[in-house]
Amino acid sequence: AHLLLFGPTGAGKSATLCAVLSQMMAVHRPRLFIAEAGNSFGLLADYFESLGLSVNKISVKPGSGVSLPPFADAYKLVEEGQTLQDVDEQALPEIDEGDEEEDQRDILGEMEISARMMITGGDPKEEAALKRADRAMIREALLIATHTTYREGRQMLPADLQTALWEISRDSQRNEVRR
């Protein structure tokens, strides 16, 4: 479900959203992410926490030293037993496909989206130019980096993905066009 809420300053947009989010949380218990400028939802988060819900508040401001790790859940792929053999170019979903009804998290898919944003810089033309083979190679590099960092006992960083892509590009066993 999607919602777009417009209104002038002071119209009650935040108050309306607090009411809607409280109802939604009471009925559905979704995984909820709120990104905002200001602190309109800080009290709502405190309220959810008082009810025993898991709440993680992060303030990202210039100079705060906080960075959000895009591959924080990479270790779960290893624990789930995903290997390079699981990357099947033909089985990749279309980029625009969205399975609204799927409850199972696709961690590798989420990581691929983050990686594509980094690689293309969010440019729609570059994103459209990516082929299935490119996406499969990104997923393969993600798994290589994931397994490497898991063995080393540390969190995967974008630099680890870069290293894995660099290794793939130097692999003489691969088709030169795809490197």
pLDDT in tens, 108-124: 999 999 999 999 998 99
106 vs 61 pLDDT, higher one:
106
Say whether both 35 and 78 belong to one domain. Answer: no
Q: Do 152 and 75 touch, CB atoms closer than 8 A?
A: no
Say whether both 133 and 92 belong to one domain. Answer: yes
Mean of the pLDDT values across residues 82-92? 68
Say whether both 90 and 136 belong to one domain. Answer: yes
Say whether both 22 and 90 belong to one domain. Answer: no
pLDDT attached to residue 91: 63
pLDDT attached to residue 97: 56
Range of the domain at 27: 1-66
pLDDT attached to residue 102: 58
DSSP 89-145: GGGPPPTT---TT--S--HHHHHHHHHHHHHHTT-HHHHHH--HHHHHHHHHHHHHH
Say whether both 78 and 142 belong to one domain. Answer: yes
Say whether both 88 and 172 belong to one domain. Answer: yes
Q: Is the pLDDT of residue 26 over 90?
A: yes
Say whether both 129 and 172 belong to one domain. Answer: yes
Model pTM?
0.61
Say whether both 39 and 82 belong to one domain. Answer: no
Q: Do 142 and 112 touch, CB atoms closer than 8 A?
A: yes
Mean of the pLDDT values across residues 44-64? 88
